[in-house]
Structure 1
């Protein structure tokens, strides 16, 4: 175990108003113990979807080909250093050229009380292939500990990667979720993330649209409650011509929860015809919540289109009265509105068991409970 490592994470590509102290976040005294050395029960469980997908387990960062090793991530280079210094073994999943498995690649990380682990999974999709990856972070509802995962994605020409991440950790957990990706010509990366558990969540995603007509889409839904803290950083980096990015973020803050979302669309010189859009909607259901958002557009090319918007508001009294007039209490009405955005994202998850786990968690149960 190493201690005393101070990390700077979730840095904006360009610093804004320093006095707001939102350009980056700091972590110190990180526990960099890796899975499998002291507790083998937390080794990730995975299910390959059949032919066309292979796995190499336990690679080290130093032996990776540069194309994977050098992919930038949302949480930043200090997360790469953490993976390297802790000697975290990396699982690499490769999808063969032209392969289109019908089933998803499933990875499940299950934690017990007091466990502190770091994982790394890299997905490489060869030319013309496609894959859906479903990744779950689970623990008992009352458990505490720390869980970190770094996921890197490489999509070759005309390849498609869809990454679905569901985080349902215990109320005492600290979570780190770091994603990075590169798209070649005509390729696409799609993210769907539901960070619903843990007391503290740090998350970031950085996608480099390197090839012409490559695409990136991110759907993120969160539900902050009690004293939960969410700190997020998402970057769409446009290099290729006619590239497209779309970030859709919908969340709810209640009680004394706090959230900081950084969303950047970065147009580099030469990305003529590129389009980028970032939208965030936040529903505030408490007088003590803290909501902070930095929508940022960086432009080094003239012929581009960038759009961003952030809206935050409370539940309208007219809408609340409508629900209450139909027999719902004020609390029930707020709960229904809070879940609506999450339910909409769940409808996009092609796994009934995962959806049931999310529903069980939102209803106050533990995701590891036996599902009927």
Structure 2
């Protein structure tokens, strides 16, 4: 990334009202230079199932096969340029044809105080295979730094990839999370993401439903507090016939947190019979929170079904009275409601130890307080 330029990320596929300043976001030169410069020692802690899955560690992005490089990601081409120019090594995980290991692939990223690092992992699932990949990023509660991640997923015919990402970084961290995927006929990609820590969160996901009958499902949970900023961009591209997509986000904004969520369902010509839905629920627990949402449906094909909906509301007075009448304080009642959405996402994580870690993070004041 050249010095003196801004990095444009999370761009909408088509521009809306420019005066709202929501079509894209910018990262300053300072952020990108830091990421390009530092090379954290070591790398992720990798755990593989005993059979059916292999990994090539530390491959150069320039040597990665074109099939991966051609996959568009949610944060966009500037993030790809940053990954490439920084020389970030790639973990390439491959699942053999027909293999369906019960144990997940685990990638743990213990981030340190003052560290600025980029990480990349690509997952290739061969025909008829199935795999769950769990990625966890955490640090000390008060730590600061910058952590950037790019994950690309390719699912061959009838393959299934489930990517679970949990972010528990310190309150002064900057966090970038970029995901891109592609599905052949009958394949599916599921994203489960939980964003709890960091001061500034930039996240994007894009899945190309190229094959007939392919599917994409995304479940996002977030908890924004104090000065926290969340900027997200998710796209489902329907190319194949009878493809399906669902983008769901559940979050809580407290104090003076701000959030911008972009959700796009893009029906391309020829995707007859495709169905797509986008849903967002936001609980507002502060008078100074900033909540912005852009639900977008693009339609180049007539025989499709698309829907989107966003609900944002404050704590219901009747509910609050009910909780308080049972001995809870107003703050405790708000905490209970905030945890409900997080717990719904946690129920999708097949790792009891990680779920317990999330609960402990919340209990110990993981609200950037």
* Distance in 1, Cα, partners of 2:37 & 2:64: 20
Map of 1:282-293 to 2, 5 A cutoff? 282-293=282-293
Q: TM-score scaled to structure 2, two decimals?
A: 0.96
> Does the 8 Å contact 1:142/1:172 carry over to 2?
yes
> Does the 8 Å contact 2:40/2:117 carry over to 1?
no
**Where do 4+ consecutive residues of structure 1 move more than 3 Å?**
1-5, 31-39
Q: Extract unaligned runs of 5+ from structure 1.
A: 367-372
In the TM superposition, residue 281 of structure 1 has moved relative to its aligned partner by 0.6
Which residue of 1 is the match for residue 351 of structure 2? 351
In the TM superposition, residue 364 of structure 1 has moved relative to its aligned partner by 2.2
Which residue of 2 is the match for residue 79 of structure 1? 79
In the TM superposition, residue 211 of structure 1 has moved relative to its aligned partner by 0.2
Asked whether 1:40 is paired with 2:41, we answer yes
Map of 1:179-190 to 2, 5 A cutoff? 179-190=179-190
* Distance in 1, Cα, partners of 2:355 & 2:49: 19
Count of residues paired in the alignment? 366
Which residue of 2 is the match for residue 26 of structure 1? 26
* Distance in 1, Cα, partners of 2:148 & 2:279: 27
Tell me whether 124-133 or 28-37 shows the greater mean CA deviation: 28-37
Map of 1:152-301 to 2, 5 A cutoff? 152-301=152-301
In the TM superposition, residue 357 of structure 1 has moved relative to its aligned partner by 1.1
In the TM superposition, residue 64 of structure 1 has moved relative to its aligned partner by 1.3
Asked whether 1:111 is paired with 2:123, we answer no
> Does the 8 Å contact 1:92/1:122 carry over to 2?
yes
> Does the 8 Å contact 2:221/2:341 carry over to 1?
yes
Which residue of 2 is the match for residue 11 of structure 1? 11
> Does the 8 Å contact 1:32/1:86 carry over to 2?
no
> Does the 8 Å contact 2:40/2:116 carry over to 1?
no
> Does the 8 Å contact 1:284/1:314 carry over to 2?
yes
> Does the 8 Å contact 1:56/1:93 carry over to 2?
yes
In the TM superposition, residue 270 of structure 1 has moved relative to its aligned partner by 0.1
Which residue of 2 is the match for residue 311 of structure 1? 311
SS at match of 2:334: helix
> Does the 8 Å contact 2:202/2:232 carry over to 1?
yes
After superposition, the Cα gap between the structure-2 partners of 1:33 and 1:124, relative to the gap in structure 1 and judged at 3 Å, is farther
* Distance in 1, Cα, partners of 2:148 & 2:33: 9
* Distance in 1, Cα, partners of 2:280 & 2:81: 31
After superposition, the Cα gap between the structure-2 partners of 1:238 and 1:207, relative to the gap in structure 1 and judged at 3 Å, is same
In the TM superposition, residue 59 of structure 1 has moved relative to its aligned partner by 1.3
* Distance in 2, Cα, partners of 1:276 & 1:251: 21
After superposition, the Cα gap between the structure-2 partners of 1:7 and 1:261, relative to the gap in structure 1 and judged at 3 Å, is same
Which residue of 1 is the match for residue 142 of structure 2? 142
> Does the 8 Å contact 1:206/1:234 carry over to 2?
yes
SS at match of 2:358: helix
> Does the 8 Å contact 2:36/2:86 carry over to 1?
no
SS at match of 2:341: helix
The CA deviation string for residues 32-74 of structure 1, in whole angstroms up to 9 with x for no partner, is 5669975414x10010012110101111121111101110000
The CA RMSD measured in Å over matched residues stands at: 1.6
In the TM superposition, residue 98 of structure 1 has moved relative to its aligned partner by 0.4
> Does the 8 Å contact 1:275/1:306 carry over to 2?
yes
The CA deviation string for residues 256-289 of structure 1, in whole angstroms up to 9 with x for no partner, is 0000000000000000000000000100000000
